[in-house]
Amino acid sequence: MFNGLLYALWCVAYYPLVYIPLHLLEFILKAFITIGVGLPQYLLFGIPINGKFSDIQLPLMFLRIAIISIFVFAILFVCSAVRVQFQKDDQESPIKIALKNSIFGTIWLIGIPIALFVFHTIINILTSLILGGESISISRTIFLSLRNPEWKNIPVSLWEEAANKGYRIDYYTYKKFQSPQDIEVFFVGGLISIATLIPFALAILTVVQKVFQQLFLFVISPFIAASSVSDDGRRMKQFQEMYAAKSFVVLGMIIALQLYAVYVTRAQRWIGTIQDAAWWYKIILFFAILVGGGVAAMGITNEIAAFVGESASARETMGETKNLFSSALSLGGAVGAAKFAGSKGLAITKFGLKRTRTGTRLLENRSEKQLLKNRLKSGHISLGDYNRSKAALINDIRTSKLERKDERAENKARKKDFVADKNQAKIKADINKQNNRVDDQIAETTEKTNERVALLNQRIDEAKSVRDTSRVARLSSELDRVKAKSDKKLTKLNTKKEQITNYASENDIELNKDKADVDSWLKDEHIGHKASDFMASDKRLAKRSNRQLRWMKLRDTYANQLIKDEDKQAHIKKAQKQAKRTEVLQSELDKKTKTRKNEDGSFSPIHTKGTNKNKLKYKRKKLDLLSKYSDSNDSLSSK
């Protein structure tokens, strides 16, 4: 029971991945022959495969269009007769041209079914000779290659029997698998079969589209024959080339399919001759040969299509079918008004495009490409010359685009460089201004310090002369404090000046380096290099902008610091003035009260005179002055 459940799970993986893709591949390969040979014959003439010419039955739409084309033929002939009245003497008669083309058009209109039937008969004979009656067995080849020759538990006869049964693996065969042989079968088989199925599925879509295009060309052929009266047979010649090209592409796909079958069979035999090689190695070889050969087989049609001037890919064929419908509508008179409106809209669009440089270049490139196509269709140049001229034109367009891109990059770089130089001039002016300001501050600080030191030295000398040791000590400590503070401020200002000088020198060095780099790549004459190197230059300019921003930030920091220093200096000056005033008041009070300052900071009277009232008055005044003096000293020391 457990083995039956495992077999059911294995079938769930095997049938979608291996069984169904192998059968789809078989059906697609058979459909190639049926669609490429039998479908056009039945659609165009109503003759089934192996049918007779007496069973021919043309499409009803073809007969209706043939009747309408007779009236179109007559109208165009009358128009040619009217043109005789407006022709010049040296020109050929339009009636003569119309009569000549009408004869060929009538023969072509009557002989189209017969000519195409003979052409398709020849194509069918060529296909039969190429195929030789052999059946294509690519799916069988893939299935047989899934068995590893080292699997002794599964004989070759049992595996071939499963292939003959339609790739079904019954429960009896499954029980002979050993782990992990069952997993290898559906994993490797699914990988190879699906990868091979995809290119052939796309190719059969292309074949069906080509057959549909053949039917469409056949149905509108009476219109083409009637239009030969007015266009000197150009559309008729174009019809012949297009119809033959599509038929040869379908024939080329059938040939490529048969070559692929021979290629896969012989490649499998070659892999079997490789000795002492692992099964996985052979499977990888077979996968590469099978899938690569499938893609190459469908690529042969591109070679045939290029030779006859036809597209073979599914995407290009869909676009081509759309163009065929547009061409057929342009042949009918019912779309005259729509065509007129479309031409007016196109003219307005072209007028709008011509107002811009890009639009003008676009129209010029388009006109040059259209000129090449017209020369190819008229037979003035071959397909090889057309491809070479088109490649050269595309190369010129790309070169001009790169040159314009280089020019835009160069202009943008020069503009950015100009703006950077302008900002650089401002920065240099700011640097000089800040440098001069620091120099002024250094000179001012030095001058004020010298004046303060001289004043303190004078007071110290006066105190020494009167032998006031306490005052000498106080003034000496104040002198040391002033010198230390001045040295600290001068050190800070010198550091700022050094930073400004270093930044200015580094900025000049990097600026010269950036300018040298920009000048070097601006002189580069290789197309496309300037546009790519502009990114590096843009980064360098961005770096320079970042440096400028850093300098602006540094400058603002210096300015704020200087403002703080100025406020501090003003506060110090105010405190010094207040201290000086207090000292003057103290000296006046000393003269009146004859007090002296003791070692513990208290004051004692030396000599007193007057009444007790005067003593009390002077004592209160002295205490008030001393309290103010002590408060000012405390605030000054804290700041």
> Between residues 249 and 534, which one has the greater pLDDT?
249
* pLDDT for 544 beyond 70: no
pLDDT in tens, 379-427: 677 667 777 787 787 877 777 777 777 777 767 666 666 666 666 677 7
* pLDDT for 3 beyond 70: no
Distances (CA, A) of 298 to 31, 194, 204, 507, 517: 15, 16, 10, 64, 52
Q: For 115-129, 345-359, 553-567, 598-612, which range has the lowest pLDDT when averaged over its residues?
A: 345-359
Look at residue 345 in the predicted model and tell me its pLDDT.
42
Look at residue 324 in the predicted model and tell me its pLDDT.
44
> Between residues 257 and 619, which one has the greater pLDDT?
257
Summary count for the chain: helices (H), strands (E): 18, 2
Q: Give 531's pLDDT tier (boundaries 50, 70, 90).
A: very low
Report, as an integer, the average pLDDT of 586-597.
60
pLDDT in tens, 432-444: 787 788 888 888 8
In the numeric block, which tokens belong to residue 621?
Answer: 């005044």
The whole-angstrom separation of Cα 185 and Cα 18 is 9
Look at residue 307 in the predicted model and tell me its pLDDT.
59
Report, as an integer, the average pLDDT of 536-540.
54
Look at residue 350 in the predicted model and tell me its pLDDT.
47
Q: Is 233 helix (H, G, I), strand (E, B) or coil?
A: coil
> Between residues 233 and 305, which one has the greater pLDDT?
233
Sign, Cα dihedral of 606, 611, 615, 617: negative
* pLDDT for 542 beyond 70: no
Residues 6+ apart with CB under 8 A from 35: 204, 207, 208, 211
The whole-angstrom separation of Cα 38 and Cα 225 is 26
Largest CA distance in the chain: 164
Q: Give 38's pLDDT tier (boundaries 50, 70, 90).
A: confident
* pLDDT for 208 beyond 80: yes
pLDDT in tens, 304-355: 656 555 544 444 444 444 444 444 444 444 333 333 334 444 444 444 444 4
Contacts 24+ apart (CB under 8 A), 597-606: 597/470, 599/470
Look at residue 245 in the predicted model and tell me its pLDDT.
78
Q: Give 608's pLDDT tier (boundaries 50, 70, 90).
A: very low
pLDDT in tens, 551-573: 566 666 666 666 777 777 777 77
* pLDDT for 372 beyond 70: yes
Look at residue 628 in the predicted model and tell me its pLDDT.
61
Contact 224, 274 (CB under 8 A): no
Percent of all residues in the chain with a pLDDT value above 90, rounded to a whole number: 0
> Between residues 120 and 370, which one has the greater pLDDT?
370
* pLDDT for 189 beyond 70: yes
Residue 527 CA from chain centroid, whole number: 20
Report, as an integer, the average pLDDT of 451-466.
81
CB-based burial of residue 179 (10 Å sphere; 0-12 exposed, 13-18 middle, 19+ buried)?
A: exposed
> Between residues 82 and 459, which one has the greater pLDDT?
459
Task: For the full predicted model, state whether its pTM sits above 0.75.
Answer: no
Angle between helices 60-83 and 181-231 (to 10 degrees): 30
The amino acid at residue 628 is: K
Identify the CA nearest to 142 among candidates 46, 29, 283. Answer: 283
Look at residue 212 in the predicted model and tell me its pLDDT.
86
Look at residue 2 in the predicted model and tell me its pLDDT.
59
Look at residue 602 in the predicted model and tell me its pLDDT.
59
Strand-pair category, 595-597 with 603-605: antiparallel
CB-based burial of residue 2 (10 Å sphere; 0-12 exposed, 13-18 middle, 19+ buried)?
A: exposed
Look at residue 554 in the predicted model and tell me its pLDDT.
62
* pLDDT for 359 beyond 60: no
Look at residue 610 in the predicted model and tell me its pLDDT.
46
Look at residue 338 in the predicted model and tell me its pLDDT.
31
Identify the CA nearest to 544 among candidates 385, 370, 393, 422. Answer: 422
The whole-angstrom separation of Cα 167 and Cα 145 is 12
Look at residue 294 in the predicted model and tell me its pLDDT.
76
- Computed over every residue of the chain, the mean pLDDT equals 69
Q: Give 132's pLDDT tier (boundaries 50, 70, 90).
A: low
Report, as an integer, the average pLDDT of 495-520.
70
* pLDDT for 508 beyond 60: yes
Report, as an integer, the average pLDDT of 282-288.
79
